[in-house]
Amino acid sequence: MKQMNNRLTVTINAKKIYRRKVLMRFFTVGLLGLLLILSVIYALVFVTNQTGNFTISLDPNLKAEKGIVISPSSDFKKTPLTLKAEALDYMDNISGEWIPDTVTEVEGSHSTNNYLAYTFFVKNNSNDKTDYQAEIVVKSVISGVDEAVRVAVYYNGEKTVYAKRNKVTGLPEADTIPFVSNRLVMTTKRVGIKPDEVDKYTVVIWLEGNDPECIDDILGGEMKMLMQLVEVD
């Protein structure tokens, strides 16, 4: 009888060990799966955070078929498809009058603590006249910060300032052109750029302290924008 009890005990212990091994395998597989998911999420967040608050992109077809290139410098030593402005951790509200007239003289990314600025160049590398369309798109907004944002576009030295309409009156803010829509800041067509001709753009973005929507509610807000050069519709 004692021998039979010993066999029964051994059998029960073996089953417990087997179940424990199975549970450990499931736990290990589950943990690895969770780590994989977290890694993917982290990678996506990391990539998103690295895109900057303002990005310029060129349609690959425009470069391949039309010979249009962009560069952060007037010597066109580098002609990537994407340019990124340095992201700002914090932007205080200012008056647009504080932005110096020399802001267009610095090439590439040249942001300060109070505004984001980027100067880049567009060139026709083909043998024929061609066209392109430039537009600035709002990619994401947090805490309604776009209500007080100003976007100045200097095209070949000519300045135009864009802003959302006054939230109360629906009228354009002073000395600004209204956004085309909530997600489209501006759009323009460049017609007939000649071979080897160069267009110069400077984009400056700031929080306008004189805007009635520049209130405490937008504190901690974020906004990401993309300026894209595409083929004319």
Domain ranges of the chain: 1-50, 52-230
Please provide the DSSP assignment of 23-85 as one string.
Answer: HHHHHHHHHHHHHHHHHHHHHHHHHHHHT-SEEEEE-HHHHHHH-EEEESSTT-S---SEEEP
Q: Report yes or no on whether pTM surpasses 0.85.
A: no
**Residues 70-107 pLDDT 10s:** 999 999 999 999 999 987 777 778 889 999 999 999 99
Q: Are 165 and 179 in contact (CB under 8 A)?
A: yes
Q: Are 145 and 219 in contact (CB under 8 A)?
A: no
From CA 146, how far away is CA 149, in angstroms rounded? Answer: 5
Q: Which residues of the chain have pLDDT under 50?
A: 8, 39-52
Helix (H/G/I), strand (E/B), else coil: 127? coil
Q: Which residues contact 134 (CB under 8 A, 6 or more apart)?
A: 187, 188, 190, 201, 227, 228, 229
Helix (H/G/I), strand (E/B), else coil: 93? coil
Q: Side chain identity at 12, as an amino acid letter?
A: I
Q: Which pLDDT belongs to residue 20?
A: 66
From CA 207, how far away is CA 77, in angstroms rounded? Answer: 33
Helix (H/G/I), strand (E/B), else coil: 11? helix
Helix (H/G/I), strand (E/B), else coil: 121? strand
Nearest C-alpha neighbor of 102 from the set 119, 123, 87, 90: 119
| Sign (positive or negative) of CA dihedral 231, 182, 46, 39 | negative
Q: Which pLDDT belongs to residue 152?
A: 97
Q: Which pLDDT belongs to residue 209?
A: 84
